[in-house]
Amino acid sequence: MSIIRTIDDLHAGYRRFRAGRFLEAQDRYRLLAEDGQQPTVMLIACCDSRADPAMIFDAGPGELFVLRNVANLVPPPADDNAFRSTSAAIEFAVSVLKVQHVVIMGHAQCGGVRAYVDGAMGEPAPGRYIAQWASLLKPAYDNVPEGLEAHEAAKVLEREAIRHSLMQLNAFPFVEERVKDGTLQTHGAFFGIATGVLEWLGPAEREFQPVS
């Protein structure tokens, strides 16, 4: 696998894609352009470069509707006029694309989660926008046992954040309506970067279980 470090590396990667994977799936790309996208799964994942949903799930073009943000967070429903990219993407996937599943996937060694933990333990904030966004983690952090060192608290919070974001997701009226009528399911997932192990939290499950 080639390593991308420069813009020339990006261009070289594009040429390999164009001559390889794009050529192999050219008919699929053409149909996607003509007929539009019809994914049945939305993935809400972290921006982290080590946890790419398309790679982890070996997905082809048009198969996943992916939203990525810092720490794979879902904000609460709100009626203000703020710019809400995450909420808009969820609304589009659920109400327009009519996806059948929404999966919130967190991962180990999450920098956004660790930034919140460090801030909660008195370390300087990493930046204005990061700190404001990460403040969404506070309710999840309240479920982390007291007295843990920062790295242990972050490990607990990585999974608690997924649970909390699922609760926020299910609070959107258009999500709640489709979950109630049985046309939509919401799930949690956790990816171990070093191990490659994927853990799953189904709609009726209380604990994450490894996917065998």
Q: Which domains does the chain possess?
A: 1-36 (no CATH), 37-210 (3.40.1050.10)
Selection from 91, 49, 40 nearest residue 68 by Cα: 49
Terminal CA-CA length for the chain: 26
pLDDT above 80: residue 70: yes
pLDDT band of residue 29 (cuts 50, 70, 90) is: very high
CB atoms within 10 A of CB 139: 14
pLDDT band of residue 2 (cuts 50, 70, 90) is: confident
pLDDT band of residue 7 (cuts 50, 70, 90) is: very high
pLDDT above 90: residue 32: yes
pLDDT band of residue 203 (cuts 50, 70, 90) is: confident
User: DSSP assignment, residue 94?
Assistant: I
Structure tokens at 134: 């990460």
What's the average model confidence in pLDDT over 5-23? 94
pLDDT above 80: residue 65: yes
Cβ-contact 41, 104 below 8 angstroms: no
pLDDT above 90: residue 187: yes
Structure tokens at 128: 């204005």
pLDDT band of residue 84 (cuts 50, 70, 90) is: very high
Tell me what pLDDT residue 212 has. 86
Segment 90-106, tens digit of pLDDT:
999 999 999 999 999 99
Contacts 24+ apart (CB under 8 A), 87-94: 87/172, 89/42, 89/65, 90/42, 90/44, 90/169, 90/172, 90/175, 91/172, 91/174, 93/39, 93/42, 93/65, 93/67, 94/42, 94/172, 94/174, 94/175, 94/178, 94/184
Structure tokens at 15: 């040429």
Selection from 212, 104, 197 nearest residue 158 by Cα: 104
Q: Can you tell me whether residue 50 is helix, strand or coil? A: coil
